[in-house]
Amino acid sequence: MGDIVIPSEFNERYSKLLGEDNKIFLDFCKKPLKKCIRINTLKVKNTDKFIENLDERYKLEKVPFCPYAYFIDHLNPGKMPEYFFGEIYIQDAASLIPPIALNLNPDGDEFVFDACAAPGSKTTQMAQIMNNKGCIVANDASNDRIKALFFNLESYGVMNIIVTGINMERPVPEKLYNKFTQILVDAPCSCEGTVRKDRKVLSRWSVRLLNFLSVQQKKIIKNAINMLKKDGILVYSTCTLAPEENEEVIDYALGNFDVEVEEIEIKNLKIREGITEWNGNDLSKDLKKCIRIYPQDNDTEGFFVTKLRKI
């Protein structure tokens, strides 16, 4: 595996999840991640001309499931002048999926809560989808991360934002209950899916860490569901593939709150359904509607996304 040491327990877990596909999964884990950029339509108005000019200098490849994102043949897009001027955001292709899954209305007056927003990749993407209309409350518990969030909101021309510093692992005030039409919970996680760009992920990996994070994630999703209006949509996502942090968190939500899982339909995205059994424990059959994004299926990071409706 080159410079990546695969923990034996990690290998065993993914053999159980993927069977014969485990080898190709591990092979993709050692491949470098393709650079991907999102065109910021809040600043770039003539996207066709902008993309044409970029394509003359760098080889662009359209991300099949997102109309404003491209893989780019550039070793360091962060040195491009377009990045400096906030015209492009460097964002892995799989990371684009959660805001797309929210089905935000570009002309509506939606009141959106981004529970774990910093540094702002998905926040700025949602503002772009919403054409700076409606309102997004961008929240993060870390003051240092909020500084990065403010920087990105300003750099990318985002205007429909309120920034808050609520710790979502603690009970939120009841005055925040039933307020938001859409909520994104891109939860802090073990980051298993990011191994292609961060080789250190597996050196920190352990089942104990997964279980610790799962407890935190359940606290966050509990608060988020309480803050969601009836008939509102909550998208839960992680950049990990561990069932403890994904299906088990959603199973907890289904068992304790009035929510149901909805199908996620995104054209040209290869997905695998969520699992309904793990470590001998049966989980809700509705978890099949969750989507697992393995690196080998779309040549991206690994990701997990679920769409819930409050009933």
Per residue in 41-99, pLDDT (tens digit) is 999 999 999 999 999 999 999 999 999 999 999 889 999 999 999 999 999 999 999 99
Per-residue pLDDT, averaged over 283-306, amounts to 98
Is 147 within a domain?
A: yes
The answer to whether 138 and 129 are in contact (CB under 8 A) is no
What is the residue range of 141's domain? Answer: 8-310
Taking all residues of the chain, what is their mean pLDDT, rounded to a whole number?
A: 96
User: Does position 4 have pLDDT exceeding 80, yes or no?
Assistant: no
Q: How many domains does the chain have?
A: 1
Please report whether residue 2 resides in a domain: no
Tell me the longest C-alpha to C-alpha distance in the chain.
55
What would the mean pLDDT of 113-133 be, rounded to a whole number?
97
Average pLDDT over residues 191-213: 94
Active site residue 29: no
Whether the per-residue pLDDT at 190 is higher than 90: the answer is: yes
Task: Say yes or no to pLDDT of 3 above 80.
Answer: no
pLDDT-based confidence at 109, cuts 50/70/90? confident
SS3 181: strand
For residue 3, tell me if it sits in a domain. Answer: no
Pick from 52, 119, 61, 50: nearest CA to 88 = 50
| Residue 1 counted as domain residue | no
Residue 192's pLDDT is 96
Distance of CA 91 to the CA centre of its chain: 10
In this predicted structure, the answer to whether residue 1 has a pLDDT above a threshold of 50 is no
Report how far residue 164's alpha carbon sits from residue 4's, in angstroms, rounded to the nearest whole number. 38
- 206 in a structural domain: yes
Any idea what the CATH number is for the domain that residue 58 is in? 3.40.50.150
Q: Is residue 48 part of a domain?
A: yes
CA-based nearest residue to 18, from 299, 10, 207: 10
In a domain, 227, yes or no: yes
What are the DSSP calls for 28-78, one per residue? Answer: HHTSPPPPEEEE-TTT-S-HHHHHHHHHHHS-EEE-TT-TTEEEE--S-GG
Active-site choice (36, 116, 239, 290): 239
Residue 42 dihedral angles phi and psi, to the nearest 5°: -70, -25
Q: What percentage of the chain has pLDDT greater than the value 90? A: 94
Q: Which two three-digit tokens encode residue 72?
A: 């780019």
N-term to C-term CA, the chain:
46
Whether the pLDDT of residue 2 is over 70: the answer is no
Question: Please, which residues bridge with residue 135 across strands?
Answer: 111
More confident residue, 5 or 272: 272
Domain contains 214: yes
Q: Sign of dihedral through CA atoms 207, 240, 301, 150?
A: negative
